[in-house]
Structure 1
Amino acid sequence: MKKVFSLLLVFLLTISSMLYATPTSAEQVFTDVSPKHSNYQDIAFLLDKGIISADKKIYGVKDIVTREEVAVMVAKAVGLDGTQRATKFKDVPKSHKNSGYIQSAVEAGIINGYTDGTFKPTTKVTRGHMAAFIARAFDLPNGTKTFKDVKKGHTAYEAVSQLAAANITTGYEDGTFKPANNLTRAHISAFLARAVKYQEGLGSTSSKLNVHFLDVGQGDSIFVQAPNGKTMLIDAGTKEYGSTVVAYLKSKNVKKLDYIVATHPDADHIGGLAAVLENFTVGEFINSGKVHTTVTYENLLQMVVDKKIPYTEPKAGDLISLDSNVKTQVLAVNAQASDMNDASIVLKLTYQNMSFLLMGDADAGIEEQIAKKYDVSATILKAGHHGSSSSSSLGFLQKVNPKAVILSYEEGNSYGHPHKEVLSNIKTVGTKAYATAQDGTIVVTTNGQSYSISAKEFIVPNTTPEKPKGDVNSGTYVIPGAPTAFKNCTEMRVYYPSGVSSSHPAYATARDGDKDGWACEL
């Protein structure tokens, strides 16, 4: 009955999101620009400003833009006169619908014609050309940032470095800008929207990204403050820590949470979210979609319905529109996972040269999957599953190659977290570790180029995992120092691959499905 009720809740949430989500003008006008598109907010901003028009039902996000299109958009963005008039170009007569904007852009020094007396309005624009047009049109600061393919001496260096200094571009994750690539309508929308916002002083009063790893005991809760002022809360610990999370958010003058992410239904992740929903306005609730029959989870989903909060179940690869300068991507989520932890939403946040990989409770199998599909390298890694040996495999840590690992756990917890295997792996890759159990809430602040951590380094003991001296497959042998309670069979099998018998202290009847006196047998 509970399962049926849970499924019904998911259905109600889906309908609720359809009924109560209020689409903005971009969603209403363009059929190919959904709220999930990474440049949705930029396109909506330009549309509201009148910089782009709604004369077509399709925006053409993947279309390559021309010199005419860029000239018109930039001219409108800086308020130039678009009245049709004669130009000095033989291929742009007075009768041309955009002759006024083209001539104004040329007169303002934003874009030039060719020596043969033509403007070539249909010629495609590259990313390097675009950087030059925007740098000429807006009062941008001088910059010194270089990209692998735009070093000092490159024709686009000065313009591209200006865009980087104004946080209009962060380049690609591989450290390139790709100046010779053709420019899509989605990309020009992003660059231009950021330039206008920079010029008008809109968005954030800070260029910093703050990621708070809250101390919620043996649980997880992460609070993100984006440079544009938007906020995201990822989990909130157990129910007992709900008031702690609420108090912390209020201490940061939070009035609204733009996003709440429930990584998976375990109580040590979603238990405190009910208190958060009671105290803050929420823009969107993002959930793994994993069906679970606990009262805590069912009540939480019912609150989302009752409060008419837009509800989303993302797919791997989806982007979250937190900040146009912070790429926020879902690397993993699986509502059909047989193990609750493997349903975890895994997120990667990238801000210029800095990135955060937030693993939820995802285990080594999920780590292997995402490492094959995505770039998992990151500056800061929030270790999966509170430092359990079911996660943070050595191979994965080597691929992430983090500068710092955050461990979220409670001192003296019954699971023995963080496990010696994980601490050994951290020591092997030579990264620094920080623990909420040692320092409480940990805040990482970055301007996109460097970072600071409000905690003392956690000194990893110079030990290696103790090897069992008995037969771990006997069902009765107890590994010295191993936990005597496990959350699930996946966790137990890390220590006891064949499970345990009823005489073992870690035995639990709930994991003995066939009632033969052996739990978590293979």
Structure 2
Amino acid sequence: MKKIVSMILSLVLVMAFIPQYSNAATAKFKDIPTSHTYYKQVSYLEGNGYITGYPDGTFKPNNKLTRAHAAIIISNALKLDTTNVTNPNFTDVPTSHPYYNQIAAVVEAGVMGGKGNGKFDPSGTLTRGQMAVILTNAYNLKGVSNKQFKDVPSNHWAYQFVQALAKNDVTSGYSDGTFKPNANITRAHFSVFLYSALGTLGKKMEVHFIDVGQGDSILIESPNGKTMLIDGGTKAAGDDVVAYLKSQQISQLDYMVATHPDADHIGGLIDVFAATQVSNFVNSGKVHTTDTYNELLTAATNEGSNYIEPTTGQTISLDPSLKVQVLHADASATDNNDASIVLKVTYNEVSFLLTGDADTDIESKMASSYDVSSTILKAGHHGSDTSSSLAFLQKVQPAATILSYGQDNSYGHPHSKVLSNLITVSSKAYSTAESGTITVVTNGATYNILGKEFTVGTVSTPTPSPTPVVTNPKPTTGGDAKSGTYVIPGAPTSFKNCTDMRKYYPNGVKKGHPAYSTSSDRDQDGWACEQ
């Protein structure tokens, strides 16, 4: 017993060097009072949903941890997808097993394995050595410590795993120089080790690709709690974006970015201004004549936000632990999409490339001037073939690509050519149309994507019907070609979608024009299919 107490004291000393975590919720287990040695660790894990107690309100800290319970805790801590799992085919874990999904998830993630003979042994207890394997796999811990344990020599099966724990200050072992790899681990001790392992990661960052239908909206929550909202979808999506911010307990934004003045990117930001405090408003500077754009500028002025028009190459000071660099910005661009602010956000080894609606020419310019390689790519222009060229994707080499578009949209997004390019570069693909809001959680070394991956080779995409192209169309009424009121002789007065309309009216049309329809005026600002 004295040895165990000594080990506990050693672990507590190690905790002094672990980054401190905030914990809004507190553990209310009857057998874990505030005076308990492990109150802090159990309270943090419980408050973040990693562990739960028993129906009688206890945690039973001294009970031996079972393999099934370890699977549950680790799947919670890693936020693994437990809804779409591959059957590991353990004879003692049928699909009807209460913990089947969690066990299948940790096995599929390579964190835990079976016990041989086709079994998992869910009720079996876990040893300290096995715990070392699980945490090393879960958090990619590596290294060899100067600290050597008498009972874990270099030829021991658990040597590299125990050493990885020691190297990363997850354990210091017992005072007698042993680790006791064959001893069973209790629920409380596992909580201490898991808390220590979490401390090796640094603070987490979350990037939320909010489902706004046919549009873009991205929320960044930095490691130090700073926030940046990039675009807000259409006006119709404004309430949804505000509701999502509230669900994340966000009432103040450090930065709001309007990548370019298209309605499906800026419309929802008007409601966000009304509902939250915005310290800095980053705008492309590209002037647009729509009511939506004017309302956005008015909202920013009324808010009193610091106004910023970024230049290519500059960095934005969101969080000292991040590098947020502007890879493209062009207020003088003739086309709205060409004005898109493109950001690369880097947190240690994990990076995000957020491209707005930048087209292939802009992609080529960025790739020739900057390191565009990134872990996660937000595909340009909702998966349109105007973006995401193969040459660009080969430079980015994204491990995963997020496509933000609406289900059954009239634009043909995502384009089959883009999906083919993603297959070529072996990028996993996720879409807001398929998964809803997609969240990427990263500690700067590893990342986890909360969303349903789809197989791009099986996604069918609508193909817009071909429309005759009018050569050198000239307006006959209503002023210049950008007024939105001119009518092209012989042009159709109704169109299947905006792609077809823009072949005749590149800037869209205003209310009152024969081709105007409310279904094409997504933000209800009096312009249909405006750029």
TM interval, short-chain normalised: 0.5 to 0.7
SS in 2 for 1:259: strand
Match of 1:405 in 2: 401
The amino acid across from 2:343 in the alignment is: L
After TM superposition, give the deviation of residue 462 of structure 1 in Å: 5.2
Which residue, out of 219, 238, 246, partners 1:242?
238
Residues 285 and 309, structure 1, Cα contact 8 Å, conserved in 2: yes
**Residue 426 (1) aligns with residue 430 (2):** no
Query: Following TM superposition, where does structure 1 have runs of at least 4 consecutive aligned residues deviating by more than 3 angstroms?
Result: 143-146, 462-468, 472-476, 501-505
- Between the aligned partners of 1:397 and 1:320, the Cα distance in structure 2 is 25
Residues 414 and 461, structure 2, Cα contact 8 Å, conserved in 1: no
Residues 219 and 238, structure 1, Cα contact 8 Å, conserved in 2: yes
Residues 218 and 268, structure 1, Cα contact 8 Å, conserved in 2: yes
**Structure 1 pair 463–311 and aligned structure 2 pair: CA distance change class (3 A):** closer
SS in 1 for 2:315: coil
Q: 1:3-49 CA deviation, whole Å, 9 max, x = no partner?
A: xxxxxxxxxxxxxxxxxxxxxxxxxxxxxxxxxxxxxxxxxxxxxxx
Residues 277 and 303, structure 2, Cα contact 8 Å, conserved in 1: no
- Between the aligned partners of 1:448 and 1:228, the Cα distance in structure 2 is 13
Which residue, out of 217, 223, 242, partners 2:219?
223
Match of 2:367 in 1: 371
Query: Normalising to structure 2: TM-score of the pair?
Result: 0.51
- Between the aligned partners of 1:473 and 1:303, the Cα distance in structure 2 is 39
Consecutive unaligned residues of structure 1, counting only runs of 5 or more, are 1-142, 147-164, 167-204, 477-488, 490-500, 514-522
Residues 409 and 437, structure 1, Cα contact 8 Å, conserved in 2: yes
- Between the aligned partners of 1:393 and 1:353, the Cα distance in structure 2 is 25
**Percent identity at matched positions?**
56
- Between the aligned partners of 1:467 and 1:211, the Cα distance in structure 2 is 31
Match of 2:41 in 1: none
**Residue 338 (1) aligns with residue 334 (2):** yes
Matches within 5 A, 1:150-161: none
**Structure 1 pair 301–466 and aligned structure 2 pair: CA distance change class (3 A):** closer
- Between the aligned partners of 2:336 and 2:467, the Cα distance in structure 1 is 25
SS in 2 for 1:283: strand
The amino acid across from 1:411 in the alignment is: Q
SS in 2 for 1:300: helix
- Between the aligned partners of 1:397 and 1:307, the Cα distance in structure 2 is 39
Which residue, out of 321, 327, 351, partners 2:323?
327
Match of 1:302 in 2: 298
Consecutive unaligned residues of structure 2, counting only runs of 5 or more, are 1-140, 145-167, 170-200, 471-480, 482-489, 509-531
Which residue, out of 441, 445, 467, partners 1:449?
445
After TM superposition, give the deviation of residue 463 of structure 1 in Å: 8.5
- Between the aligned partners of 2:449 and 2:273, the Cα distance in structure 1 is 29
- Between the aligned partners of 2:350 and 2:308, the Cα distance in structure 1 is 27
**Residue 510 (1) aligns with residue 505 (2):** yes
Q: 1:403-422 CA deviation, whole Å, 9 max, x = no partner?
A: 00000001100001000110
Matches within 5 A, 1:479-498: none
After TM superposition, give the deviation of residue 305 of structure 1 in Å: 1.3
- Between the aligned partners of 1:426 and 1:512, the Cα distance in structure 2 is 30
- Between the aligned partners of 1:212 and 1:306, the Cα distance in structure 2 is 27
Q: 1:85-120 CA deviation, whole Å, 9 max, x = no partner?
A: xxxxxxxxxxxxxxxxxxxxxxxxxxxxxxxxxxxx
Residues 206 and 228, structure 1, Cα contact 8 Å, conserved in 2: no
Match of 2:78 in 1: none
Query: Normalising to structure 1: TM-score of the pair?
Result: 0.52
Match of 1:356 in 2: 352
Residues 424 and 463, structure 1, Cα contact 8 Å, conserved in 2: no
**Structure 1 pair 447–338 and aligned structure 2 pair: CA distance change class (3 A):** same
Match of 1:437 in 2: 433
Matches within 5 A, 1:10-159: none
SS in 2 for 1:276: helix
After TM superposition, give the deviation of residue 255 of structure 1 in Å: 2.3
SS in 1 for 2:456: coil
Q: 1:143-164 CA deviation, whole Å, 9 max, x = no partner?
A: 9689xxxxxxxxxxxxxxxxxx
- Between the aligned partners of 1:512 and 1:283, the Cα distance in structure 2 is 32
